[in-house]
Amino acid sequence: MRDFHAFEFKSDGFPSRQVFRKGNGPAVVLMHELPGMIPSCVDLARRIAAAGFTVYMPLLFGEPDTPFSVLGTLGFVGQVCLSQEFYCFAKRQSSPITQWLRALCRKAHDDCGGSGVGVIGMCLTGGFVLSLMADPSVIASVASQPSLPISLTPDHKRALGISETDLKQAQARASAGVPLLALRFSEDTTSPAERMESLRETFGGTPEVVQEDEQLCWKRGKAIETIEIKSGPGNPFNISKTSHAVLTLAYREAGHPAHTVFERVIEFMRSQTQKT
């Protein structure tokens, strides 16, 4: 990762963490997934930077640019579930780590200026963007395959893992022009369909259908946009029903629906960060 600038960032009450920065332009805070800062996540940061943004990628656990492994992921599950900074089962509480991430967003905004910061969360960090939306520094939020709280019960599947106070602030900001873009694969049980529907109900009301075909289910409301890549039997790209990581492990080149979704993320970030 020699093409990144690494620095330590500390906020009151939280330990110092390493952050990797790359690019020029409006700031985007990219939060890695449960497998850690794996090479496909680092490549995502490079693609975002190449699109004209300054990426801030905090290392939340593990080592940077470490290859994906099942055993490593299982180890992180235990580490995160026991951590006091991540709430893996709480249905209506915000994970404490989101306070540190808000402070990082404010730093990124101070560094880069502009109308605000974009945030992208994935997997266990997917839902964190809802809490970050409550911060005035944030202007665009992408929740990719939000996986917390862990789906133990039907209530957990619908839950958003955010406190009532943070949720009300996020709803107010969404209504005021800070919309949410949410992504998942249609058959993903780790990021259940019930959670996506809960997001639509919470932020969007009745959405307009942008695209509904064998590739994508794409809906857009005033304050939320959702895109689900079809991964059921017979899909034209032979996408596995176990597919989960929309922007990283599942990313493909032009023509694939995962590439279409990535392009929409970039377009969404540009339109929001260029607001005056």
Give the 3-state secondary structure of 129-194.
Answer: HHHHHCCCCEEEEEEECCCCCCCCCHHHHHCCCCCHHHHHHHHHHHHCCCCEEEEEECCCCCCCHH
Question: Can you give the pLDDT at residue 80?
Answer: 83
> Between 83 and 264, where is the model more confident?
264
For the stretch 131-181, pLDDT in tens is: 999 999 999 999 999 999 999 999 999 999 999 999 999 999 999 999 999
pLDDT band for 76, please (50, 70, 90 cuts).
confident
Pairwise CA distance, residues 114 & 274, whole Å: 8
What is the pLDDT averaged over residues 27-50?
A: 97
Cα angle 202, 206, 212; round to 5: 110
Task: Inform me whether the pLDDT recorded for 41 exceeds 90.
Answer: yes
Mean pLDDT of the chain, nearest integer: 94
Q: What is the pLDDT confidence band of residue 74, given thresholds at 50, 70 and 90? A: confident
Please determine, for residue 222, whether its predicted confidence score (pLDDT) is greater than 90.
Answer: no
| Cα within 13 Å of Cα(245), Cβ side | 20
pLDDT tops 90 at residue 215: yes
Domains of the chain: 5-273 (3.40.50.1820)
pLDDT of residue 128: 97
| pLDDT of 207 above 90 | no
Q: In what order do the strands lie in the sheet with 117-122?
A: 5-9, 17-23, 54-58, 27-30, 117-122, 138-144, 180-185, 224-229, 216-220, 208-212
| pLDDT on residue 73 | 80
**Which own/partner contact pairs does 72-77 have at CB distance under 8 Å and 24+ positions apart?**
72/35, 72/36, 73/34, 73/35, 73/36, 76/34, 76/35, 76/36, 77/34
- Mean per-residue pLDDT for 229-236? 96
For 88-117, what is each residue's pLDDT tens digit? 998 999 999 999 999 999 999 999 999 999
Q: What is the pLDDT of residue 275?
A: 83
Per the DSSP assignment, residues forming a β-bridge with 181 are: 142, 225
Angle between helices 39-50 and 257-273 (to 10 degrees): 50
In this structure, what token pair is assigned to residue 17? 């963490």
Distance CA 22, CA 48 (A): 9
Q: Which amino acid is at 131?
A: S
